[in-house]
């Protein structure tokens, strides 16, 4: 297929159009993904999550620089929230990465959540595939950062960075949201601020309390510090260290044969999603389109039927052939 | 208490009667204007009538006082404008140095009393005309200055010891001020004889105008260097013009302009005290301010009166200044560019006139009046003359300058002055709690406050809750055409050639030596000014100097917060 | 269950930092239901075009108040053409004298908005003239 070839050949315009079509859920885009799928699995996918104002985009910008210096190509998927009121979104993360705009080895793409929970956009999984086939060595996925349950990132990444900032109540938030369990590397950002050593100590204590089984293949999450982004020398040094740590983590996954188990999560989620999209959605659409859904809702409200019986009826009518 | 008890009692009775009558009438009116139109342009609610009740808690000595007496609500000068009008200072600059020099001489001949320099964007951002980033910008919104050679052409025939010059320049302020100092030296004028202002206010750039170069912290350091150098060597120079103008143009309310500008001023004072260990009264008198005169007449007057009072209190009480000259808030004013409309452009003359009048009634020391064509391009000779004449008419014909602070004692004006002061202090304290202005900027606080206000205002214009004549009311389909000034695109090539010629003829080794000395000074944290002066004399360019800063201090990019 | 959304980029080419208009517009576009990419101030035409392609936008709105639009706007449209991306529609705003309008239309701009243009005018224009890609 022509578009597959174009993307394999590094055609950014074709890739960005395909990602657009995936976001917009155009049927032909799904078709293309079928062709791309066998070609994926090359890239090292890095997830970056953390609360708003934690400095995720600035870190991403710095990491792009580090990986470029190592001769790697970099793709970035930056997710921002869709307004629930208007359906619109301001995608502002790339502002902080614009200095790389002219570098042909960097491809930054902004995505809106469009109602997806979990800190990512629905199309992220497929967009990663597109960037992978496009030839990006490194793919950085930056989550929304609402401070909510942003754990979906682990399903798509080899290495997850959790960014925390002292004095923002991040510690407690993070533990509540369960994002501590997903971190391979903690970044204590803006570490020149008050409370930074306290935050590091608390993280350390938390890791000390975790059972050894929590550390996959014996990888104990590292705690890395980044000070003021406005002090170029120390900032760049800290970023280099993080970059090296990320590579070290990837090497750990390879050496311990853990890539497979990471990617199993992705496969599981993708299969689940695909089943939902292929089986459930057409049925729902049909019910909505025919007015049958409204009828059933009425009936359930009048207690003429219970939701379970209704669902079983639908399954019998629609899915028997499939199952 | 400001009024005798009996006065308040009878006022209270009379007000009751008046209120009843108003109620009766209003209940019959079918189409009342929306609430937003009974507030200032900044959405401060305004009452139908102000009475003694509204200022009953004032204390004459504490709050109003006399001109030239603390807290200077009524002005710094005991003689008001009778001693001397405000300085008629038209902001101008376009094309190359020679073209701007010509405009300056024209303005002086027409009765302008001070100079004010508009630079083009490459100069403002610390790039040379031949930088790839500067393409298409040369001379478009001001004069292009690359090296001292350009600067000498710019100031040709200008008596630097007699006329004061203001330079709107921020990140490269050290370089341009160094050129002014070097030019004076070349003309044999000692540094203690030259006077003027460099804007040199980076905090408002981060907040509003985004003329960005280095991060906040080293930016403030460079500013403190100029304050120190001025205090020691150029005593008649205003080394910072702490600016609310751009904050307002970015969409701030009048109160936000007032609060953020004054809090910026406090940040600079605190930085100099901390970093340079100078006595507050050694530099306090040379701090100057710059406000916007927007279209809400009384709000602007009250803003300026409140500003003087806040600054006097801050200097005296917060920084324990003892010299009353430090307590004076001296300021320049410019009418509001953002209030001008492309539609029916001649209406802009009227807007500018009423805005200028508010600045005069608010007691400004210096004034720029916008030209009617500035929503389209740089002003033509024709338009700039009307703008200058507007000031002259206010000064010479209206009588507005005859009496000092003529609106003092007005129930409305005093009450609104008080209210704006109160709201400004609330903001100032909030920023104090965040750890100061640099910290607040890093959090994006003032930026987001302004963004919200700008968006709200635009929505109010769209829904005609607020009125702009010719835009959302009294719209006319007839087109008015006005003459436009054109800046020839070819001056860019000429300027690039001039710069290349300077580079060819200068002693390259000496120039590079100056730059490496400057770099060493930056790294050691020394005052950069003496090194800058040497560098410009060796014909180093604006960009060469700024590149040193960018290299040592890092580059700051707009974080684009929402 | 496809769902086309308009993607719009708001960009400030050149050295001008007056971003009031650009920021107000970005918010207004979000409220109109578009996905808005804002590039921040101080962008070169190359950076803007590259970003527009990477983001696959339908519309690119340029804002410049420094007078450099005569060079910068045509530079953007030319680069779009060079990259085969001239199906991205370009509009512009700022301090632009009428005598420059034709030059900009000739360069491929589809509309020019000057001070006083209301948000409704601009959104109505977009809704009428820009359709998300088929």
Whether A12 and C85 lie within 8 Å, measured CB to CB: no
What Cα–Cα distance (Å) separates residue A80 from each residue in A108, A118, A122, B510, C9?
Answer: 13, 12, 12, 52, 15
**Which of B360, B358, B173, B190 shows the shortest CA–CA distance to B268?**
B173
Of A53, A90, A232, the CB nearest to B554: A232
Q: Domain spans of chain B?
A: 82-403+412-462, 491-553
| Backbone phi and psi for residue B18, each to the nearest 5 degrees, phi listed first | -65, -40
Q: Is the pLDDT of residue A148 over 90?
A: no
Chains that touch A (3 or more CB pairs under 8 A): B, C
- Under a CB-based contact definition with an 8 Å cutoff, are residues B64 and B55 in contact? no
Which among A17, A4, A250, A13 has a CA at the least distance from the CA of A133?
A4
- Counting one residue from A and one from B, how many pairs have CB atoms under 8 Å apart? 22
Distance (Å, rounded) from C-alpha B459 to C-alpha B34?
A: 14
Q: What is the pLDDT of residues A64-82, one digit of tens each?
A: 999 999 999 999 999 999 9
Least confident of A203-217, B129-143, B303-317: A203-217
pLDDT above 70 (res B271):
yes
Q: Could you tell me the pLDDT band of residue A305, with boundaries at 50, 70 and 90?
A: very high
Phi, psi of B44 (to 5 degrees): -80, 125
Q: Which of B205, B248, B342 to mutate to test the interface with C (most CBs of C within 10 A)?
A: B342
What pLDDT shows up at residue B379? 92
pLDDT band at C134 (very low <50, low <70, confident <90, very high): low
pLDDT at residue B559, as a whole number: 78
* A98 contacts B554? CB cut-off 8 A: no
The 3-class secondary structure across B326-362, one letter per residue, is: HHCCEEEEEECHHHCCCCCCCHHHHHHHHHHHHHHHC
Span B218-231, mean pLDDT?
94
pLDDT above 70 coverage of chain B, percent: 98
Check whether A320 has a pLDDT greater than 80.
no
Of B554, B560, B561, the CB nearest to A230: B554
Whole-angstrom distance, CA of residue A253 vs CA of residue A261? 9
Q: Read off the pLDDT band of C26 (50, 70, 90).
A: very high
CB B224 within 8 A of CB B202: no
B172 touches chain C (CB under 8 A): no
The answer, for A90 touching chain C at a CB cutoff of 8 Å, is: yes
Give the three-state DSSP class for A111: strand
Class of B82-403+412-462 in CATH: alpha beta
User: Would you say residue A321 has pLDDT above 70?
Assistant: no
Cβ <8 Å between B376 and C97: yes
Radius of gyration of chain A (CA): 22
Query: HEC string of B518-539?
Result: HHHHHHHCCCCHHHHHHHHHCC
Average pLDDT on B553-560 reads 84
Q: Is the pLDDT of residue B182 over 90?
A: yes
C83: Cα separation from own chain's centroid: 17
Contacts of B336 (CB under 8 A, 6+ apart): B248, B249, B292, B293, B294, B295, B351, B355, B370
Q: What are the b/e assignments for B45-56, b being 16+ CB within 10 Å?
A: ebeeebbbebbb
Calculate the alpha carbon distances from B391 to B90, B358, B368, B371 in Å.
10, 12, 8, 12
- CATH classification (class only), C7-129: alpha beta
Categorise residue A151: left if φ over 0, alpha if ψ from -120 to 50, beta otherwise: alpha
CA gap A163, A191 in Å, rounded? 11
Q: Which of B55, B38, B28, B24 is nearest to B302 (CA)?
A: B55
| B402: Cα within 13 Å, side-chain hemisphere | 6
Is residue B82 within 8 Å of residue B125, measured between CB atoms?
Answer: no
Q: Please report residues of B whose CB lies closer than 8 A to that of A95.
A: 557-560
B31-63 pLDDT, tens digit each: 666 665 689 999 999 999 999 999 999 999 999
Q: Using the 8-state DSSP alphabet, how is residue A190 labeled?
A: S
Measured on CA atoms in the order B520, B521, B523, B528, is the torsion positive or negative? negative
Looking at residue A182, what is its pLDDT? 86
Beta carbons within 10 angstroms of residue B39's beta carbon: 17
CA dihedral A165, A168, A171, A174 (to 10 degrees): -90
pLDDT score for A149: 63
How many Å apart are CA B87 and CA B239, to the nearest integer?
18
Is B29 part of the contact surface with chain A (CB cutoff 8 Å)? no
Phi, psi dihedral angles at A112 (to 5 degrees): -100, 150
Residue to substitute from C116, C122, C125, interface B, most B β-carbons within 10 A: C116
B298-326 b/e (C-beta count within 10 Å ≥ 16 → b): bbbbbbbbbbbbbbbbbbbeebebeebeb
What's the average model confidence in pLDDT over B393-416?
97
Q: Which of C13, C28, C30, C134 to mutate to test the interface with A (most CBs of A within 10 A)?
A: C30
SS3 B121: helix
Sorted by where each starts, the structural domains of chain A and their CATH numbers stand as: 39-256 (3.40.50.300), 270-319 (no CATH)
Average pLDDT, chain A: 89
Report the alpha-carbon distance of residue B47 to residue B39 in Å, rounded: 8
Nearest to B406 by CA among B353, B334, B357, B333: B357
Exposure string for A9-33, b = 16+ CB within 10 A, e = fewer: eeebebbbbbbbbbbbbbeebeebb
Mind listing the pLDDT tens digit for each residue in A110-142? 999 998 887 888 899 999 999 999 999 999 999
* Residue A169 in this model has a pLDDT that exceeds 70: no
Q: Which residues of C touch A61 (CB under 8 A)?
A: none
The pLDDT of residue A322: 56
CB of A95 within 8 Å of a chain B CB? The answer is: yes
Q: Is-contact B308 B284, C-beta < 8 A?
A: no
Whether the upstream peptide bond of residue B71 has omega within 30° of 0, thus cis, is: yes
- At residue A321, the 3 state secondary structure works out as coil
- Cβ-Cβ contacts under 8 Å for B325 (sequence gap 6 or more): B281, B284, B285
pLDDT score of A199 = 87
Cβ contact B206:B212 at 8 Å: yes
> Is C83 close to A27, i.e. CB distance below 8 A?
no
Q: What is the pLDDT of residue C39?
A: 92
Find the CB nearest C54 among A16, A23, A92: A16
Dist CA B37 CA B191 (whole Å) = 52
pLDDT attached to residue B506: 97
Q: Which of residues 230-269 of B touch C (CB under 8 A)?
A: 249-251
CB contacts of C96 in chain B (<8 Å) are: 376
What pLDDT is attached to residue A192?
Answer: 84
**Measured between beta carbons, which residues in chain A are less than 8 angstroms from residue B557?**
95-96, 98-99
Closest CA–CA distance from residue A195 to any residue of chain B (Å): 15
> Where do the domains of chain C lie?
7-129
Euclidean distance between CA atoms B514 and B545, whole angstroms? 9
Residues of chain A contacting C39 with CB distance shorter than 8 Å:
94-95, 98, 101
Confidence of residue A173 (pLDDT cuts 50, 70, 90): low
Average pLDDT (A229-238) is 84
Q: C20 vs B249: CB contact, 8 Å cut-off?
A: yes
Tell me whether residues A91 and C47 touch, CB distance under 8 A: no
Residue of A nearest to B551 (CA): A232
From the list B43, B32, B30, B31, the residue with the least C-alpha distance to B461 is B43
Report which of B97, B105, B197, B234 is spatially closest to residue B158, judged by C-alpha positions. B105
Q: What pLDDT, on the 0 to 100 scale, is given for residue A176?
A: 60
How far is the C-alpha of B330 from the C-alpha of B324, rounded, in Å? 12
**Interface membership of A159 toward C (CB under 8 Å):** no
Mean pLDDT, chain B, whole residue set? 94
Please compute the mean of the pLDDT values over residues A197-226 and round it to a whole number.
Answer: 87
Residue pair A21/A29 in contact (Cβ under 8 Å)? The answer is: yes
Distance of CA A226 to the CA centre of its chain: 22
Residues B357 and B398 sit within 8 Å (Cβ to Cβ)? yes
Give the Cβ contact number of residue C17 at 10 Å: 23
Half-sphere exposure of B546 (CA within 13 A, CB side): 26
Number of H helices, E strands in chain B: 22, 9
- C67: Cα separation from own chain's centroid: 16
pLDDT at A147: 58
User: Which residues make Cβ contacts (< 8 Å) with residue A267, sequence separation at least 6?
Assistant: none
Please answer yes or no on whether A86 and C37 come within 8 Å at the CB atom: no
List the B114-117 sheet strands across, edge first: B237-238, B196-198, B165-167, B114-117, B87-92, B366-368, B330-335, B287-293, B240-243
Alpha carbon distance B134, B123 (integer Å): 9
Give all chains having 3 or more CB-to-CB distances under 8 Å with chain B.
Answer: A, C
Give the pLDDT band of residue A177 (cuts 50, 70, 90): low
pLDDT digits over B439-491, tens only? Answer: 899 889 999 999 999 999 999 999 999 999 999 999 998 887 888 888 888 99
C-beta atoms of A102 and C46 within 8 A: yes
Distance CA B321, CA B308 (A): 15
Q: A212-216, B283-287, B317-321, C67-71: which range is least confident on average?
A: A212-216
User: Measured between CB atoms, which of B212, B342, B470 is closest to C17?
Assistant: B212
Q: What angle do CA B83, B331, B75 make, to 5 degrees?
A: 50
Q: Give the mutation candidate from B210, B212, B548, B562 for the A interface (greatest A CB count, under 10 A).
A: B562
Chain C nearest CA to A232, separation (Å): 20
Closest CA to B45 of B420, B307, B304, B309: B420
Q: Name, in order, each residue with C-beta under 8 angstroms of A164's C-beta and a sequence gap of 6 or more.
A: A50, A51, A54, A170, A171, A174, A186, A187, A188, A189, A199, A203
Cβ contact, residue pair B137, C68, below 8 Å:
yes
Chain B contact set for A231 (CB, 8 A) = 554
């Amino acid at each position: 297929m022509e578009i597959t070839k174009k993307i394999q050949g590094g055609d950014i315009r074709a890739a960005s159009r395909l990602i657009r079509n995936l976001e917009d859920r155009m049927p032909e885009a799904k078709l293309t993904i079928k062709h791309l799928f066998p070609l994926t699995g090359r890239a090292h996918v890095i997830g970056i999550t953390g609360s708003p104002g934690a400095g995720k985009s600035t870190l991403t910008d710095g990491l792009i620089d580090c990986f470029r210096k190592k001769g790697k190509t970099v793709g970035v998927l930056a997710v921002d929230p869709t307004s629930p009121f208007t359906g619109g979104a301001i995608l502002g993360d790339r502002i902080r990465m614009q200095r790389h705009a002219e570098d042909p080895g960097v491809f930054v793409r902004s995505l809106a959540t469009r109602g997806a929970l979990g800190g990512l956009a629905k199309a992220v999984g497929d967009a990663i595939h597109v960037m992978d086939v496009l030839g990006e060595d490194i793919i950085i996925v930056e989550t929304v950062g609402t401070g909510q349950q942003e754990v979906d990132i682990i399903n798509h990444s080899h290495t997850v960075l959790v960014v925390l900032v002292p004095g923002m109540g991040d510690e407690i938030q993070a533990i509540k949201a369960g994002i501590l369990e997903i971190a391979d590397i903690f970044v204590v950002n803006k570490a020149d601020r008050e409370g930074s050593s306290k935050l590091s100590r608390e993280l350390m204590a938390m890791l000390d309390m975790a059972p050894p089984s929590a550390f996959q293949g014996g990888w104990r999450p590292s705690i890395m510090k980044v000070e003021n982004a406005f002090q170029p020398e120390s900032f760049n040094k800290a970023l280099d260290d993080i970059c090296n740590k990320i590579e070290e983590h990837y090497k750990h996954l390879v050496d311990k044969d853990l890539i497979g188990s990471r990617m199993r999560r992705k496969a599981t989620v993708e299969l689940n999603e695909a089943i939902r999209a292929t089986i459930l959605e057409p049925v729902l659409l049909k019910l909505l389109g025919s007015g049958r859904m409204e009828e059933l809702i009425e009936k359930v409200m009048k207690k003429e039927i219970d939701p379970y019986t209704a669902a079983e009826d639908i399954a019998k009518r629609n899915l028997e052939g499939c199952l | 208490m400001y009024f005798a008890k009996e006065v308040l009692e009878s006022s209270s009775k009379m007000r009751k009667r008046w209120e009843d009558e108003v109620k009766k009438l209003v209940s019959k009116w079918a189409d009342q204007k929306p609430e937003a139109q009974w507030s200032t342009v900044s959405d401060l609610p305004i009452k139908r009538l102000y009475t003694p009740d509204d200022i009953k808690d004032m204390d004459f000595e504490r709050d109003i006082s006399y001109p030239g007496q603390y807290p200077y609500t009524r002005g710094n000068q005991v003689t008001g404008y009778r001693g001397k009008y405000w300085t008629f200072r038209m902001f101008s600059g376009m094309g190359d140095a020679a073209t701007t020099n010509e405009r300056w001489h024209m303005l002086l001949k027409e009765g302008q009393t001070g100079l004010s320099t508009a630079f083009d964007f490459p100069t403002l951002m610390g790039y040379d005309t031949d930088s790839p980033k500067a393409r298409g910008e040369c001379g478009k919104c001001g004069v292009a200055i690359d090296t001292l050679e350009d600067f000498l052409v710019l100031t040709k025939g200008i008596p630097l010891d007699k006329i004061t010059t203001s330079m709107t320049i921020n990140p490269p302020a050290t370089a341009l001020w160094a050129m002014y100092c070097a030019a004076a030296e070349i003309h044999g004028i000692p540094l203690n004889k030259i006077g003027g202002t460099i804007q040199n206010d980076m905090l408002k750039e981060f907040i509003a105008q985004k003329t960005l170069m280095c991060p906040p912290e080293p930016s403030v350091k460079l500013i403190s260097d100029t304050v120190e150098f001025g205090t020691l060597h150029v005593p008649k120079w205003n080394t910072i013009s702490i600016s609310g103008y751009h904050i307002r143009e970015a969409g701030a309310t009048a109160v936000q302009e007032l609060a953020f500008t004054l809090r910026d001023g406090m940040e600079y004072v605190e930085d100099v005290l901390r970093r340079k260990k100078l006595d507050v009264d050694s530099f306090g008198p040379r701090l100057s301010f710059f406000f916007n005169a927007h279209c809400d007449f009384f709000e602007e007057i009250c803003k300026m009166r409140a500003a003087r009072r806040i600054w006097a209190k801050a200097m005296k009480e917060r920084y324990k200044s003892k010299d009353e000259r430090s307590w004076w808030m001296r300021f320049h004013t410019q009418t509001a560019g953002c209030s001008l409309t492309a539609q029916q452009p001649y209406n802009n003359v009227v807007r500018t006139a009423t805005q200028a009048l508010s600045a005069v009634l608010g007691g400004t020391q210096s004034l720029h009046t916008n030209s009617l064509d500035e929503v389209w391009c740089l002003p033509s000779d024709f338009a700039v003359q009307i703008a200058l004449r507007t000031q002259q008419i206010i000064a010479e014909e209206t009588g507005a300058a005859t009496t000092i602070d003529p609106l003092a004692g007005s129930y409305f004006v005093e009450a609104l002055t008080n209210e704006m002061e109160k709201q400004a202090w609330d903001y100032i304290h909030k920023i104090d709690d965040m750890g100061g202005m640099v910290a607040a900027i890093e959090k994006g606080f003032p930026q987001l406050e302004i963004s919200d206000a700008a968006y709200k205002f635009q929505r109010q214009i769209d829904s005609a809750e607020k009125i702009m004549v010719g835009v959302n009311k009294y719209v006319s389909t007839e087109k008015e055409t006005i003459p436009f000034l054109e800046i020839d695109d070819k001056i860019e090539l000429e300027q690039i050639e001039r710069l290349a010629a300077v580079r060819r003829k200068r002693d390259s080794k000496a120039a590079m030596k100056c730059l490496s000395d400057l770099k060493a000074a930056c790294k050691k944290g020394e005052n950069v000014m003496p090194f800058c002066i040497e560098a410009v004399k060796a014909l180093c360019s604006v960009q060469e100097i700024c590149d040193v800063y960018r290299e040592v201090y890092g580059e700051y990019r707009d974080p684009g917060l929402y | 269950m496809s769902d086309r959304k308009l993607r719009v980029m708001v960009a400030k080419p050149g050295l001008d930092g007056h971003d009031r208009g650009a920021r107000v517009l970005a918010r207004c576009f979000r409220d109109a239901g578009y996905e808005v990419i804002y590039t921040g101030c101080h962008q070169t035409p190359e950076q803007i075009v590259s970003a527009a392609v990477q983001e696959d936008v339908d519309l690119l709105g340029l804002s410049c108040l420094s007078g450099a639009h005569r060079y910068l706007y045509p530079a953007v449209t030319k680069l779009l053409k060079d990259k085969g991306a001239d199906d991205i529609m370009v509009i512009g705003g700022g301090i632009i004298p009428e005598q420059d309008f034709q030059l900009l239309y000739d360069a491929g701009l589809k509309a020019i908005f000057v001070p006083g243009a209301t948000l409704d005018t601009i959104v109505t224009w977009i809704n009428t003239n820009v359709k998300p890609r088929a």
